[in-house]
Amino acid sequence: MRKGIHPEYHETTVKCLCGNEIEVGATVPGMHIEICSKCHPFFTGKQKLVDTAGRVERFRKQYGLANDEEEKSVETSN
């Protein structure tokens, strides 16, 4: 490695908005993050499910598109 071209590497604390603090090695002193593994829904298991069915139905209604179920029933009745 060439000397004098690499940034200084040191131990620093990463602070999350939830209050969690993590000791890591980094080139910047002190970091603040909004979400970490202690409060992220993937790791906590408290994932909030988004109701996409309502959004899809609203889109179909707005543009006059039929549902897949309605299309199947129309095809089978003909």
**Does pLDDT of 66 surpass 90?**
no
CATH architecture of 1-46: Irregular (4.10)
In this structure, the dihedral spanned by the alpha carbons of residues 70, 76, 77 and 78, taken in order and rounded to 10 degrees, is 110
Give the pLDDT score at 12: 93
Domain ranges of the chain: 1-46, 48-78
pLDDT, tens digit, for every residue of 10-37? Answer: 999 999 988 889 999 999 888 988 888 7
Structure tokens belonging to residue 60: 């179909």
pLDDT at 74 over 70: no
| 10 against 48, higher pLDDT | 10
